Structure formats: structure tokens, C-alpha cells
Amino acid sequence: MNFVIPDFYPAAAELFVVAMSFVILLAGTFSKQPRNVAYALSQLTLIGAAAITLFTMDGQVSFTFSNMYVDDLMGDFLKLILYFAVAIALLYSRSYMHERKIETTEYYVLVIFATLGMMVMITANHFLTIYLGLELLSLASYAMVALLRDSARATEAAMKYFVLGSLASGLLLYGISMLYGAAGTLEISGVAQAIYQQAGNKTVLMFGLVFIVAGLAFKLGVVPFHMWIPDVYHGAPTSITLFIASAPKLAAFAMAMRLLVNGLFEFAEQWQSMLMVLAVLSIVLGNLAAIAQSNLKRMLGYSGISHMGFMLLGLVSGVVGGDRHFALNAYSSAMFYVVSYVLTSLASFGVLLLLSRAGFEAETLDDFKGLNKRNSWFAGVMAMVMFSMAGIPFFVGFFAKFSVLQAVVAAGYIWIAILAVVMSLIGAYYYLRVVKVMFFDEPLDATPLTAPADMRVLLSLNGIAIAGLGLVPQGLMSLCAYSLLGSL
């Protein structure tokens, strides 16, 4: 058996991140200012990975590591958004983590390992590679949720996350084993070829597909695998909630594209019918449950469930009656939606972190009372975030919803589009309630709001981006469509 040396060039960014994770661990251990060194090196790691990804991007689809790794435009684009999201999350979180004495070297190493796991998920062309990336992300996330070791709430959230995450991983692995038994390979493109040639047992493949969709639904946090979302969002430190609520959604979207579109596209009508049920239930339950929440972290958790339901509607609309002409428009609308959601999610939890201080968690509606009188600019940023999430023109969230609904209508699912619009109108209530509290209620604490300069600047730019992309969304939409065109 001859060992073939793989081409390391397409995976240069991943290898760089692996190397830097050990550098951060060692530098943080031996430095006199470990948190400053670890933070700086983490940000440099993300900047370096972005530079390497841009430098190695050539627009071609290439495979390496025995076809277990794929380098394409979709992967490169999602990785660039991923670096951006993680870098912002680290900057927003720094003061919060420092005040609670949990800004340690281990925290930054866990974030970098989680980022590496997401990068592997985005570029995987093999079922085991996807699983390894998923577990690297999951294990780092479990540990981060439990970082506040003196908090019973955080420990309970970590345990729930771990137990339910292990169950979802088991479902996914069982599905993978069934696909392997039927197709005789774990390579995603090989499974697609076997299904196309009708080489496997269709019954076994369908059972495998059900378990794959179940595992995927948990990672997206959609009904009925949503139970962990509000508890983990509420129980975890807000900085960790910010991380979990943003960047992993990009990896989950990429995982769905790799598994369902690249690997199981011949069964598109079957998995679309499953995702349709999950999407409708998520939109309905997410919006209705969020109305009853007075805790903003739980509200944003249920809101995230409904948003992921909306994103799934894009995946549902790709193939209609065997006609695949809708695929590019539908999948690019789903990608645009998830990128827009990550951007707004970062800003929403960024404002929560801005309001929090040592010994005080800003997470209830009452904490936002009279925010306009404490700092009118950041009240305006939070209002833009809420308007965007509600789908009010002209913010990026409106065009994200509009593009998905356009794909749904083009696919002929008129009743789903009507239901989604009605649920969005209901959901607007709990978003606008936050705006009302900020601008029309008296503050419980009239202390002027202050924050580090870097956070103030970046959070302001985050809010401006939400408004700016709402006015000119065509560029981002075109990037999503172009990156998918080179990958499908």
C-alpha cells in the first residue's frame, strides 16, 4: 500500500489555526500577562487565517486528504464570514469575561478549537470528517458553557447541552452507519454517485436519511430538537451565548449543504418534505413561545429557533417536482439569511454585554427600560437590530426574509409563505416591545452607559452594517449566489 502525500495547500488555513492553538496555549501558560497575550494571538490567528484563505482562493473546486477535504468558493466565503464573526465575538466579550474572572488562556484556546471544528465542517467531503469537526465544535462549546464554575445555572446548562448533544451525535452517527452500509463509502461525493447509480438499498438509505436530518436539526436548533436552545442561552455566560448563537449557525448551514445537497441530492424531495415540517413547526413555536419571555436571552433563543426555521424554507424550495432550476436561487437565499442572522445576532448580544457589568447581568426587559436616556446611540443600535430581526423595511433582516419567501413562492408553496408572513407579524410584537421599553419607559438606573472604545466603535459599525446592507443588499446576495454557483 503506497502512501500518497496529500496536497496541504488548500488546507493551509486549517493547519495554521491548529499550529496557533498550541502557540496560544504555550504563550498563555508562560506569559506574565496571559489574558492579553492569548487575546492578541487569538485575533492574529483569525486575521492570519482570513489572509491565508483569501490568498489560496482560486475559484476552483479541489480535493485533498484522499477526497476527505474539499476547497470551493462556498467553503471559502463561509470561512471568511466565520473569522469575522468569531473576531467580533471575542472583542465584544472581553470586558465581560475579565470582570467575571473567566478570561483565561483556556477560554481563548477553546474558542480557537471551536473555530477549527467549524472550519472542518465547512470544508468536509467525508461523513467522518464532518463528524470530527462537529465533535470538536461541540466539546469546546460544552466546556465554554460551564466556564463560570461557581454558577449552578451555567453548570446545569452545560450538562443539558452535553446530554442532548451526545444524543444528537448518536443519531447522526447511526444515520452515517446506515448510509455506509447501503452505499459502501463514507465519501460524500461517493455516496451521491452510489445513489445516482441506484447501487444501494433504498430502504436503508431512507432510514439513514431520517437520522441524518434529526442530527442536523439538533445542531440548527429547530423543532422538535430545540429544547436545549433557551436553557443553554439563558444558563451560559452572555459572552458564550453570543458565540453559540452566531458562528456555529454558519457551520450548521454548511453541514446541511454538504450532507443534503452535495451528498443526498437525489433524495431532495424526501428530505425537503422532512425539513418543511421542521421549518413550519420552528417558525410557529419559536415566535409564539418568544412572546411569553421576559428574559431577553431566552427570547432571543426562541427567536433563533424561528429564524433557523426561515432559513430551512430556503433549503426546502430547491427542487420542485423534479425541477432543479430553483436550486441556486433557493440555496443562495438560505445562505444570505444565515449570514444576515449571524450579523444581527452578534449585535443583539453585543448590546446585552454592553449593559452588563461586574455582578450584574443585563438580560431582562426591565434592564432595557429607558436605555435611550442613558445612551441614545446604543438604544438606536438595539432598535435597528430589533427592526431587522422583525423583518421591517429597510434593514437587512427584511431582505433576508423577502428573498426566502420569494424562493418559497417561486417553488409553489404559497400557503407556507402566507403562514411565515403571519408568524413574522406575530413575532414583530416581542421585538417592538423591546424598542418600546427602551424609548418610552423610565430607566431603573440612570447611570450613563460607558464601554471600551473598541467595543463602542465595532458595535456602532455592526449596527450601521445592519442598516447599510438593508439599503444595498445586492452585493451580499450576489456573493452568496456566486459562491454557491462555483460549488453546486
Residue 429 has pLDDT above 60, yes or no: yes
Task: Give the pLDDT mean for 378-405.
Answer: 91
**Residue 449 grid coordinates:** 452607559
Q: How confident is the model at residue 242 (pLDDT cuts 50, 70, 90)?
A: very high
| Residue extents of the structural domains in the chain | 12-485
Q: Which three cell numbers stand for residue 17?
A: 489555526
Between CA 266 and CA 95 the distance in angstroms is 49
C-alpha 307: how far from chain center? 11
**276 grid coordinates:** 418543511
Per the rule left: phi > 0, alpha: psi between -120 and 50, beta: everything else, 136 is: alpha
pLDDT tens digits along 404-427 = 999 999 888 899 999 999 999 998
Provide the grid cell at 151.
Answer: 454558577
Q: What is the mean pLDDT of residues 266-291?
A: 91
Q: What is the value of pTM for the model shown?
A: 0.93
Mean pLDDT over 207-211 rounds to 90
- Let me know: does 142 contact 161? Beta carbons within 8 Å: yes
Does residue 230 have a cis bond before it (omega within 30 degrees)?
Answer: no
Q: Is the pLDDT of residue 486 over 90?
A: no
What is the rounded CA–CA span in Å between residue 24 and residue 16? 12
Residue 370's contacts (CB-CB under 8 Å, 6 or more residues apart) are 438, 441, 442, 443, 444, 446
Largest CA distance in the chain: 75
What residues are paired with 64 via a beta bridge? 69
- pLDDT tens column, 3-53: 677 778 888 999 999 999 999 999 888 888 888 899 999 999 999 999 999
Task: Determine if residue 7 is left, alpha or beta; phi over 0 gives left, psi from -120 to 50 gives alpha, anything else beta.
Answer: beta
> Which residues have CB under 8 Å from 306's CB, separation 6+?
282, 283, 285, 286, 287, 290, 423, 427
Looking at per-residue pLDDT, the higher value among 184 and 254 belongs to 254
Write the CA distances from 67 to 64, 136, 252, integer angstroms.
5, 20, 21
- Return the sign of the alpha-carbon dihedral for residues 460, 240, 307, 333: positive
pLDDT bucket at 358, cuts 50 / 70 / 90: low
